[in-house]
Structure 1
Amino acid sequence: MVEAKVVVGNKESKEGRKKWTAIGAVLVVLVAIALTYKHAQNPKSCRCAQDSRKYTGIVEDCCCDYETVDSLNGAVLHPLLQELVTTPFFRYFKVKLWCDCPFWPDDGMCKLRDCSVCECPENEFPELFKRPMKHSLPSDDLKCQEGKPQSAVDRTLDSKAFRGWIGVDNPWTNDDETENDEMTYVNLQLNPERYTGYSGPSARRIWDAIYSENCPKYASGEICKEKKILYKLISGLHSSISIHIASDYLLDETTNWWGRNLELAYDRVLQYPDRVGNLYFTFLFVLRAVTKATNYLEQAEYDTGNTQEDLKAQSLVRHLLYNPKLQAACPLPFDEAKLWKGQSGPELKQEIQKHFRNISAIMDCVGCEKCRLWGKLQVLGLGTALKILFSVDSQNYPNQPLQLQRNEVIALVNLLNRLSESIKFVEEIVPSVEKTMEKFTSEPPAQEISLWQRIQDAVGGLRSVKLPL
């Protein structure tokens, strides 16, 4: 009996050693991966990686350099735009949110309550804007929200009045986005652009349709400048949206812990110099549209019934349009006069307008309500920039005045603000990423996902895994 116990004891001892040897092997692999990842991200150990994340010189196809953009944005544009979009005039956007994808059945997967939008209730609408809403989302129709009542948009609106602007179709956007009784007001401050859980084939299909069918990417030299610019605008917008998802990410759904996902920002945008460059290009393109529309925007009436806030909005708009630092450092962010030259110019413009209208219509196919809201707003803002730069020639045709819808101006300014936020994030993020990678062996920052945290989670998971002996 004693000998038998010894044999059993030795067997258990051997099995225990095998188990801990296996665990040790896994730990060695994880640490090796971490060290390799750190080495790859350390600018001192890889000069090419360091250089690829530094952007200097003139932004391609623009009239301003990266350093000037960062300086102007940080000191002037970003703080000004952040304040401007909180005013009543610019924080309420009228949009159609019900599902009506014209291209394929909506099968989006939106798993979070943050995917939904909060609409403004009708009883808080100004009397002037109360209209019958034939196709607004009824309480018993949750098709768009996958049957989840909590996936409704926050539609809360305060009792401010809006002054109606003229309704003029935009040749660059889907005609269905003009003022009609199928649209509802949304307070953008209650519905921030952030991570929503919208992913998978449905989300990929949106971007696939945009790039492959309407904005194909050709090799250098095989595409005209106008089509190249359309691609860069969409790529820049895509980069900005990805950055906003990464900058306000749900790190832990059980505790509702939100913060920065630096790895996602790097994987989707920062490791690709062309995507960062297209972001800067799109920002300067939209900025040029805003400055070109100076006369119109200066004289517009930002009237919501709140005199103090309306005067503040008008003052901020003028500070944006006539900022001396902006005029001195980057007076012409983008030169639109170089485009549409030659005999085929008009036909080419119609072709690209058609592509962009299709992109505008694709936004109705986004399966996440909040993503659809911000997709529609930013595409409308980009379409408004295209309208300002390419649909009105005040020099050659002085009798053809610029006319904008109120919704277009709201979308244009909010888009510029979103791009400004993305530029600021990119400028700040590289040191944060490097700092995180350098300290991956210590406790991770509270608002950032680190590689070391994933290693700790993986090691913790080994405790409950039965390893083969």
Structure 2
Amino acid sequence: MVKSENEQRKRVNQRTWISIGAVIFLLLGIGFVPRNSPVTSLIHRIKTCYCSQDGPKYHGIVEDCCCDYQTVDRINEEVLNPLLQQIVKYPFFRYFKVKLWCDCPFWPDDGMCRLRDCSVCECPENEFPETFRKSSGSVLSSDDLVCQEGKPEATVDRTIDVKAFKGWMEVDNPWTNDDETDNAEMTYVNLQLNPERYTGYSGPSARRIWDAIYLENCQKLDPSGECQERRILYKLISGLHSSISVHIAAEYLLDEKTNMWGQKLSLLYDRVLKYPDRVRNLYFTFLFVLRSVTKAADYLEQADYDTGNPVEDLNTQLLMKKLLYDHKLQTACPKPFDEAKMWKGQSGPELMKQTQIQFRNISAVMDCIGCEKCRLWGKLQILGLGTALKILFSENGQDQSGQHLQLQRNEVIALVNLLNRLSESVKFVHEMGPSAERMFGKIIGGPTDQISHQF
């Protein structure tokens, strides 16, 4: 009996060593297989198939940009997103000056939002920085300024400072429709108290907004055309639209009765991931805006971020410098987008002028949005895009009229908050995109892009 057991153990050990030897032999043999042999081809196909299971869906250089997807995701996670998340919470970037009550220049504004989350809470007079206010301003009637979310304390001094702070000019942006120098009927809004998220704004009113933007203003800009200049506006608007959809999916009202908010990955998939061009355009818009910020680095570094709080203002300035001159960012993606390639040839100036007019038309459509919160973030992000265009397409620090390029406070607030919004969207797509696609259907190649008409 003992002998039989010993013999059995020996056989098992022999088989084990034979198996191990075979594996070692196979591995050694693979190393000496000629590159073009059928075995090598088979191994390569197996390896490629296996890697593609978990590999990134988007790879290579972002179209029309100078940086690849993997680098964008890495730099955004390690540098940009953490810095931007801190910066936008400081008083200077927290308050945005905006006209919330505007007449639609194209049709009667009959849009009705069904949720209270559509409304915007305005800042109480004593909340926003003293340096942001008009020194001799009067306060409008509190009856007209009661917050629509039922918070009477959220009234605001709607008269805004007539002077820009030290070193800044109050100049209008030629790319946008709003007259940023006109302070009549404008108010400050605390962006931290009015996050960009689901509001319930949809249906015919929202559909008409996107129709006006895409069909009337982008119809001549074929997104598949060979001319980079004719693609630029469509890609920017598409990228911004994708970002808005991502934020709705990231912070969605899951249960209105219990006021429970959370992620809705099915919406992320249906509105963005299902159409690969929307993801690509999101990355493009992110890099485009990032390039405008880095191009204006010298200007932004010298800006006076004065809100009357020395400690917070100093921290704001230090974080901005860190953002503008981060070594990892400059090494990995020194020039996210090359604006020097655009508007060349005899038709260049005229083409740029046409694009500027079209973008101004798009910015005017923002006054037709029937949801206050959607209007707030639409106006901010369109002004941010207009500021990026203004920075990138000025020559030698001068605008088209030959004047030295100047940025006003509201433009910088909009630009940096827009960059943060896009950074958040890219991060969410990178982190949650694979899970959403596994749950709701993996797309290879993707269907043709279609317009989603909801906010």
The TM-score with structure 1 as length reference comes to 0.75
Deviation digits for residues 20-64 of structure 1 (CA, Å, limit 9, x no counterpart): xxxxxxxxxxxxxxxxxxxxxxxxxx99x9799710000000000
What SS class does the counterpart of residue 373 from structure 1 fall into? helix
Determine which of 214, 220, 223 is the counterpart of 2:217: 214
1:393 and 2:396 equivalent?
yes
Structure 2 match to 1:317: 320
What SS class does the counterpart of residue 404 from structure 1 fall into? coil
Cα deviation, residue 205, structure 1: 0.8
Partner Cα separation in structure 2 for residue 124 and residue 347 of structure 1: 46
Partner Cα separation in structure 2 for residue 150 and residue 101 of structure 1: 26
Q: Within 5 Å, give how 1:63-462 maps onto structure 2.
A: 63-122=66-125, 124=127, 126=130, 129-130=133-134, 139=143, 150=150, 163=165, 165-216=168-219, 222=225, 224-394=227-397, 400-433=403-436
Cα deviation, residue 152, structure 1: 9.2
Following superposition, which runs of at least 4 residues in structure 1 exceed 6 angstroms of deviation? 49-53
Contact 2:156 2:187 in 1 (8 A): no
Q: Percent of pairs identical after alignment?
A: 70
Deviation digits for residues 59-105 of structure 1 (CA, Å, limit 9, x no counterpart): 00000000000000000000000000001101111101013111111
* Structure 2, unpaired ranges of 5+: 1-48, 442-455
What SS class does the counterpart of residue 258 from structure 1 fall into? strand
Contact 2:306 2:313 in 1 (8 A): yes
Cα deviation, residue 394, structure 1: 3.2
* Structure 1, unpaired ranges of 5+: 1-45, 439-469
Cα deviation, residue 388, structure 1: 0.0
Partner Cα separation in structure 2 for residue 290 and residue 76 of structure 1: 15
Structure 1 counterpart of 2:322, one-letter code:
H
CA RMSD of aligned residues (A): 3.1
Larger displacement relative to structure 2 (116-125 or 57-66): 116-125
Structure 2 match to 1:41: none
Going from structure 1 to structure 2, the CA distance change for 1:155 and 1:57 (only over 3 Å counts) comes to farther
Partner Cα separation in structure 2 for residue 153 and residue 340 of structure 1: 50
Structure 2 counterpart of 1:54, one-letter code:
K
Larger displacement relative to structure 2 (165-174 or 51-60): 51-60
Going from structure 1 to structure 2, the CA distance change for 1:263 and 1:174 (only over 3 Å counts) comes to same
Contact 1:287 1:416 in 2 (8 A): yes
Contact 2:196 2:377 in 1 (8 A): yes
Cα deviation, residue 430, structure 1: 2.5
Structure 1 counterpart of 2:133, one-letter code:
F
Partner Cα separation in structure 1 for residue 141 and residue 280 of structure 2: 40
The TM-score with structure 2 as length reference comes to 0.77
Question: How many positions carry a matched residue from both structures?
Answer: 383
Structure 2 counterpart of 1:97, one-letter code:
L
Structure 2 counterpart of 1:416, one-letter code:
L
Contact 2:223 2:231 in 1 (8 A): no
What SS class does the counterpart of residue 242 from structure 2 fall into? helix
Partner Cα separation in structure 2 for residue 128 and residue 63 of structure 1: 38
